[in-house]
Structure 1
Amino acid sequence: MNVHILEMPLDFGASRHGSDMGPSAIRLAGIKEKLESIGHTTYVHTDIFKATAQEYEKPGNPNAKYLKPIVRACNKLASSVEIITSEGDFPLVLGGDHSVVLGSLAGLAATAKKTGQKIGVLYVDAHGDFNTNETTPTGNIHGECLAASAGLGLPELTNLYFDGQKVDPKNICFVGSRDLDPGEKKLMKEAGVTVFTMSDIDRQGFDTVVEKVKTFFKKVDIIHVSFDMDCLDPMFAPGTGIPLPGGLTNREALLLMEEIATTGKVKSAEIVEVNPILDVRNQTAILAVNLAARLLGETLY
């Protein structure tokens, strides 16, 4: 398969700096070589977004900080993703903060619109990212990006790349959630997303949750996987912007990627929030490489 690695050194969506260096850390961890070793042909795109320092930009709207540069960057990403997916190739987006999902989903949705396919989203994240400008406690767009993709929030975000909803919230499935704001929790319930929290995993067992996730996606034609490294316990992924104890283990995350790959429906993905400033010997970026490989077909035997 042709895999296009799209580097998005965007950290305007978050409060803590450093995730803009995530793509280079994943590159240094050997993403290209790893994917080629399992039979893929890779194409690297480093020119989609040229970052200017966040300190030199004005935040603007306090409830949607750095809205303009984020919209500009994500429109460019969406265009690239649409071109890649229209040709039947696989875009693998490396963030950056999670606001890049706005562009990834907009591009995939544009292709799906032309082909009449239904999109599902596997959102592996400690957080919901389902706030809007009215519920956000921080004003950081990485906490509003999925709600916007589902049609909720500011028009500049909901209508990014093309007008209207990019994914039906009833086709969104969360895994690993453990830190949801009150406002976004209410919106998530009203929108009808499916959520498997860490408590659900503890109660039901990880194998049961994985099987339920695979069953959930039987109703869609294509799947976008959005993987935030903060879903992992900091013991396994210390290099991320908002580390929270009690997350997934590395083995659980790798298995989830391997299992979702067996559906044959995964057509695009992103791995975000690798922050090498906070990492230890680049172990978070190395794990990101292995997660991508499992998602793209690698098995242990």
Structure 2
Amino acid sequence: MRAITLIGAPTDVGASVLGASMGPEAMRIAGIAQALRARDLKVLDIGNLVGPGNPQSPAHGGFRHLDEVVAWNRTLYAATLDTLAAGRLPLMMGGDHCLAIGSISAVAQHCRSRQKRLKVLWFDAHADSNTPQTSPSGNLHGMPVACLLGHGPSALTQLTDTFPVLRAAQIAMIGIRSVDASEKHFVNEHHIDVYDMRTIDEMGMRAVMQSVLSDVDENTHLHLSFDMDFLDPGVAPGVGTPVRGGPTYRETQLCMEMLADSGALASVDLVELNPALDIRNQTAELAVELLESLFGKSTLMREPR
């Protein structure tokens, strides 16, 4: 049985609106542990990590809540590294997307120690590539990609002993459709692979996923960082920063099934679920359905070849 550890990270200190801190409990109410156990997975829920509250302070020095974001990411870094060292797959339940700095830093450290190739898939409506100099708000959930590539405060860019945590060639973005001009410049300057919604419209999701996964091999550790606002808000209303024109339910399920088929998935972030903005917990229930597909549930009727 494959072993998975659920790690709750109940904070919205990096976000623009309150509510993502309730995401882990919403997923538990939606039956995340039971659903994964039904897939013959050995699931351990270690509960919620503990960190500082949200002071709801204005930006200072280009950031909102930097100290609190650092504290949460350090705690998550340690929990993720411990989970990987125990031979288990960490599934981080956020919380806002600033938490990916801690989880991915730990994954990168783990991969280096075992000489595994790391590939990060960033499913999001946003590029999350602002810096303190370019962010209009100072919200750190808009900066994790930049931090992971070495552009940000040292307390976040140097959680590991290697700087930067990631090289641009290790990350691919899917579903992007809301990008500041400065972010567009950052992404293009660093030559990050981006499959925005125009690309998905033109190629189709199947071809996009085939391209994304084309270089995945048996030595690849695949990390999925999944922001619930990747989906169209008509499907997933419970998010803090909805953007119209996102992938459909079936397109997203296809992504999950193809990731499962790759056999390379080894760590997951599920973030930006905001129950305060949801309708009868439907976005949390959708998140659980997607994770079921990610771990092997399929609508495929024919026998796989």
Please give the residue correspondences for 1:150-165 in structure 2 after superposition, counting only pairs within 5 Å.
150-165=149-164
d(CA) in 2 for partners of 1:248, 1:281: 21
Deviation (angstroms), 1:161: 4.3
Counterpart in the other structure of 1:122: 121
Matched, 1:85 2:84: yes
User: In structure 1, what residue type is equivalent to 2:20?
Assistant: S
Deviation (angstroms), 1:61: 2.4
Counterpart in the other structure of 1:72: 71
Contact conserved, 2:20 with 2:274, CA < 8 A, in 1? Answer: yes
Deviation (angstroms), 1:167: 1.7
Counterpart in the other structure of 2:29: 28
Please give the residue correspondences for 1:234-273 in structure 2 after superposition, counting only pairs within 5 Å.
234-273=233-272
d(CA) in 1 for partners of 2:215, 2:184: 20
Contact conserved, 2:168 with 2:191, CA < 8 A, in 1? Answer: yes
Q: Does 59-68 or 283-292 show the bigger shift?
A: 59-68
d(CA) in 2 for partners of 1:137, 1:45: 36
Contact conserved, 1:71 with 1:160, CA < 8 A, in 2? Answer: no
Matched, 1:180 2:171: no
Deviation (angstroms), 1:246: 0.4
Secondary structure in 2 matching 1:245: coil
Secondary structure in 1 matching 2:23: helix
TM-score by length of structure 2 reads 0.94
Q: List gaps (5 residues or longer) in structure 2.
A: 301-305
Identity %: 35
Please give the residue correspondences for 1:8-157 in structure 2 after superposition, counting only pairs within 5 Å.
8-55=9-56, 58-59=57-58, 61-157=60-156
Counterpart in the other structure of 1:293: 292
d(CA) in 2 for partners of 1:26, 1:11: 16
d(CA) in 1 for partners of 2:148, 2:55: 24
d(CA) in 2 for partners of 1:2, 1:255: 23
Secondary structure in 2 matching 1:235: coil
d(CA) in 2 for partners of 1:116, 1:12: 34
Please give the residue correspondences for 1:154-233 in structure 2 after superposition, counting only pairs within 5 Å.
154-218=153-217, 221-233=220-232
Contact conserved, 1:120 with 1:167, CA < 8 A, in 2? Answer: no
User: In structure 2, what residue type is equivalent to 1:8?
Assistant: A
Moved over 6 A (4+): none
Deviation (angstroms), 1:51: 4.6
d(CA) in 1 for partners of 2:249, 2:186: 30
Contact conserved, 2:52 with 2:68, CA < 8 A, in 1? Answer: no
Contact conserved, 2:89 with 2:267, CA < 8 A, in 1? Answer: yes
d(CA) in 1 for partners of 2:5, 2:218: 27
Deviation (angstroms), 1:45: 2.0
Q: Does 43-52 or 96-105 show the bigger shift?
A: 43-52
Distance 1:208 1:60, change over 3 A: closer
Question: How well do the aligned residues superpose, as a CA RMSD in angstroms?
Answer: 1.6
Distance 1:66 1:233, change over 3 A: same
Contact conserved, 1:9 with 1:51, CA < 8 A, in 2? Answer: no
Contact conserved, 2:239 with 2:278, CA < 8 A, in 1? Answer: yes
Contact conserved, 1:96 with 1:273, CA < 8 A, in 2? Answer: yes
List per-residue Cα deviations over 1:21-53 (Å, max 9, x = no partner).
Answer: 111111100000000000011111224224524
TM-score by length of structure 1 reads 0.95
Contact conserved, 2:59 with 2:137, CA < 8 A, in 1? Answer: no
List per-residue Cα deviations over 1:179-228 (Å, max 9, x = no partner).
Answer: 01111111111112100010111111222112111114459711110000
User: In structure 1, what residue type is equivalent to 2:152?
Assistant: G
Secondary structure in 2 matching 1:6: strand
Contact conserved, 1:4 with 1:90, CA < 8 A, in 2? Answer: yes
Contact conserved, 1:34 with 1:293, CA < 8 A, in 2? Answer: yes
List per-residue Cα deviations over 1:114-141 (Å, max 9, x = no partner).
Answer: 1112211100000001111111111110
